[in-house]
Structure 1
Amino acid sequence: MELRIRPVVQVALAIALMAGIGRIAPAPAVELSWLTAVLATGSLAFLFAPAVRFSREKTTVDPVHPERAERLVTGGLYRVSRNPMYVGMALLLGAVAAWGFAWGHLAVIALFIWWMTRFHIIPEERALEARFGEEYRDYKANVRRWV
């Protein structure tokens, strides 16, 4: 892996950055609690359902060591996204942004998506392709990276 900082730590850093931006550029007088609830609920689904599937498949969920995967997981949310847990993290950042909106929050979300793609997803894809070969290439050809 190119980056060994766990994604959960990176999400926490992004949330801290969003909190700092919220203090520097306070939220406008817009009530977005309904959007916060929708995004937070979606986030939980995209974070926990894949973890349960990995457990059932008896394979690793460790994003720092994808080469340790015992089998390729392609069911459930993995039919609509190759990276549903990262989608869940982005949705969580969206919920945080909606909770105390500041325009800079959108930049943090975009930066997070770029960062995760560059430093986690692309290296994970290389490792999974090396591990599962044609099976992973077929999967990759049929399922989008994000959504």
Structure 2
Amino acid sequence: MTEHRPVNITGLALKIPPALIFILWIAMMATLRYIFPGLNYELFLTPYVVGLFFILGIFLVLAGFFSFRKAKTTINPRKPEKTTAIVTSGIFRLSRNPMYLGFLMWVIAWAFMQANLVTFVFLPLFVFYMNRYQIIPEEKILLSQFGDIYYRYLNKVGRWL
């Protein structure tokens, strides 16, 4: 392990818990559905698509949660400096952020459930927000804390997939 160097985190970075971001995101999407009713659509497969993304989201969130618990490290996304281990097994072999990917699956499910084209604009915005204000600051802290071990993991496993 390399020497721990302090990382300067400013602005919105790590301030709002990802679960709250998820709730705010779906609230904004629901609101826009009513503001732009002319962009509503009907798709007979919607219940199946919603169910698929919802179940996938549950799997990803729970797999990430239980992997952190098994490794006895923090699941607090606002305090990555309290991380005691880099989890690279299980679902973390496929994604460095399976719980955030699970939230994205739920946002996708919600977009389909709203059946309004404008809600799909929020999908890339969710990814942008999470990258900018949650994931990249976490990565900086973990790289400072775990050095080469985390650097190798960054280069081996994708941020989302």
TM-score tier, shorter chain, comes to: over 0.9
Please report how far the alpha carbon of residue 56 of structure 1 lies from its aligned counterpart in structure 2 after TM superposition.
1.0
The separation in 2 between residues aligned to 1:46 and 1:104, in whole angstroms, is: 26
Cα deviation digits, residues 29-52 of structure 1 (max 9, x gap): 223111000000000011111101
Q: 1:81-134 deviations in whole A, cap 9, x for unaligned? A: 111111001100001111122111111111110000000000000000011100
2:19 corresponds in structure 1 to 8
Q: Which protein shows a greater Rg? A: 2
Which stretches of structure 1, 4 residues or more, deviate above 3 A after TM superposition?
none
**Which piece of structure 1 moves more, 130-139 or 21-30?**
21-30
TM-score by length of 2: 0.88
Cα separation, 1, equivalents of 2:107 and 2:72: 29
Distance in 2 of aligned mates of 1:72 and 1:114: 24
Is 1:43 the equivalent of 2:57? yes
The question of whether the paired residues in 1 share the 8 Å contact of 2:61 and 2:102 is answered with yes
- Aligned with 2:88: secondary structure? coil
User: What are the Cα deviations for residues 65-89 of structure 1, in whole angstroms up to 9, with x where unaligned?
Assistant: 1110011111111111111111001
Identical residues among aligned pairs (%): 33
Distance 1:140 1:29 in 2: 41
Q: Which secondary structure state, in structure 1, belongs to the residue aligned with residue 60 of structure 2?
A: helix
Task: State the TM-score, normalizing by the size of structure 1.
Answer: 0.96
- Tell me whether 82-91 or 26-35 shows the greater mean CA deviation: 26-35
Q: Partner of 2:43 in structure 1?
A: 30
Give how far 1:3 is off: 3.3
Q: Over aligned residue pairs, what C-alpha RMSD do you find?
A: 1.0
Gaps of 5+ in 2: 1-8
Counterpart of 2:122 in structure 1 is 108
Is residue 92 of structure 2 the alignment partner of residue 81 of structure 1?
no
CA distance in 2, matches of 1:146, 1:11: 16
